[in-house]
């Protein structure tokens, strides 16, 4: 009916972005996550844990995925009332695994950290494409 006020559009609960396979992509992904969550009601409660988990997953993809030059990393964020799902897709079909790191090692704890911070996490081959998806679920009730 003309003249009636309409509800403002609800911002989408999903966000995705392509990133270069570059060492600066983890920091950029964290900034994208902060911006995405800042515009969603209640999104800020996922920010600290989400930044750590997303940063680790993107860094692992950039550092460890064996992909041809020019391949990109894809991230997808899905916000629900009580959870944030983080996905990182790359073109390497090898699935990651948590390995114990020596006490004096300066790296090698990324997936262990993800396993401790996320309510659950996992990996699987990409549907309809090459490579894999590594995902983590951040539980909002524990934040």
Strand partners, 26: none
| 27-76 tens-digit pLDDT | 999 999 999 999 998 999 999 999 999 999 999 999 988 888 889 999 99
> Which secondary structure element, helix H or strand E, spans residue 3, and what is its range?
none
State the pLDDT confidence band at 1, using cuts at 50, 70 and 90.
Answer: very low
Structural domain includes residue 5: no
- CATH number of the domain residue 124 falls in: 3.30.565.10
What pLDDT score does 40 carry? 92
- Count of domains in the chain? 1
Structural domain includes residue 83: yes
Structural domain includes residue 87: yes
Which position has the higher pLDDT, 52 or 6? 52
Structural domain includes residue 37: yes
State the pLDDT confidence band at 5, using cuts at 50, 70 and 90.
Answer: low
Structural domain includes residue 9: no
Q: What percent of the chain has pLDDT over 70?
A: 90
Domain hosting residue 131, numbered range: 14-99+107-142
| 63-118 tens-digit pLDDT | 988 888 889 999 999 999 999 999 999 999 998 888 877 788 777 788 999 999 99
Structural domain includes residue 19: yes
What pLDDT score does 142 carry? 55
State the pLDDT confidence band at 127, using cuts at 50, 70 and 90.
Answer: confident
CA distances from 100 to 53, 64, 65, 104, 112 (A): 18, 16, 19, 12, 8
Would you tell me the crossing angle of helices 47-64 and 25-38 to the nearest 10 degrees?
150
Structural domain includes residue 135: yes
Structural domain includes residue 7: no
Which position has the higher pLDDT, 7 or 93? 93
Strand partners, 61: none
Query: Structure pTM?
Result: 0.87
């Amino acid at each position: 009916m003309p003249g009636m006020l309409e509800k403002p559009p609800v911002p989408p609960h999903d966000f995705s972005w392509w990133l270069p396979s570059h060492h600066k992509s983890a920091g950029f992904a964290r900034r994208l996550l902060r911006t995405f969550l800042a515009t969603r009601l209640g999104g800020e409660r996922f920010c600290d844990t989400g930044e750590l988990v997303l940063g680790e997953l993107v860094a692992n993809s950039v550092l460890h995925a064996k992909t041809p030059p020019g391949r990109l990393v894809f991230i997808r964020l899905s916000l629900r009332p009580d959870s944030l799902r983080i996905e990182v897709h790359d073109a390497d079909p090898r699935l990651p695994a948590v390995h114990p790191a020596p006490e004096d090692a300066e790296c090698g704890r990324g997936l262990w950290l993800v396993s401790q911070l996320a309510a659950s996490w996992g990996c699987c081959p990409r549907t309809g494409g090459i490579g894999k998806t590594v995902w983590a679920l951040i539980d909002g009730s524990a934040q």
